[in-house]
Amino acid sequence: MKNKIAMFSAVALVVAGALVYVLGIYPPVSGRDGQGAIGQRQVYRDAQAADAAVTPGAAPVAASTLTAAETKRINEISSKLAAGFVAQMSSDLKQRLADQLASEMASMQMTEAMRQQMASELAASFSTDLASAMTRQLTSQLAADFSRSSMSAELNSQLSSGLANSMSTALSGKVAAQFASDMSPQFASQLTRQLQSGFTRQMSSEAASQLTTSLASGVASNLAGNLSSSIASQITSQFASSLSSKMASDLKQR
């Protein structure tokens, strides 16, 4: 059994690569408007995210032209956006994924009780592991994207304002909810395929739990960098655009 679980752990790494290929890019074509950065094919930059040094509550900013105050504002808003996205994503994804996994696993030879248990455990573990793995990488990628963007000094100065903070909460929650809705069916389909290859009817509940934990951890950690890159691009583009529009609207009303 130990050898089987070890082999299944290796398979988890393989399926992570397969998921990256199958999922392609995020957001999917139907969720993009074809304009600006959001409408372009995202190039995964997980290597950059992994190499960046991050301290708790902050994210690295590489642009040497930024002042200390600008860097601080970018780090703070990046951390807030990432935390908001991850919290909402984990909550939304967990229930959606559990329901879809249970449906996908209907053809597997197991009792209904075990099916529900495995679906629930896999959904919970995967959602938690993905959130944990993405927090640091998404914060880092958001900061890098903000620092590379063409934000004006005036726009940058508003990143720590009450308006920016309220917008970040709304935007991160909206993007996270859409992400969970778009991606949970694909996650469920691919994860179920791997469970089918590793599960046997004679497997105990304890062994089944070990398999789901191994699969969830392996796939989540390997997907985090790729997903963080494309999600960060989407968030920074929408955030800067919305904040800029709001500021322009406020000026007209004065």
pLDDT in tens, 53-91: 444 444 444 445 788 888 888 999 999 999 999 999 999
Indicate whether 21 belongs to any domain. no
Beta-carbon contacts of residue 248 (< 8 Å; ≥ 6 apart): none
Indicate whether 42 belongs to any domain. no
How far apart are the C-alpha atoms of 232 and 247, rounded to whole Å?
22
Indicate whether 31 belongs to any domain. no
Indicate whether 114 belongs to any domain. yes
Domain that holds residue 217: 68-240
Q: Which two three-digit tokens encode residue 94?
A: 């967990």
Higher pLDDT, 78 or 49: 78
Count of structural domains, the chain: 1
pLDDT at 51: 42
pLDDT at 53: 43
Indicate whether 148 belongs to any domain. yes
One-letter amino acid for residue 195 of the chain: L
| Cβ count near 21 (within 10 Å) | 7
Indicate whether 2 belongs to any domain. no
As a whole number, mean pLDDT of residues 222-247 equals 85
Residue 190 in this model has a pLDDT that exceeds 50: yes
pLDDT at 155: 72
Indicate whether 216 belongs to any domain. yes
Indicate whether 49 belongs to any domain. no
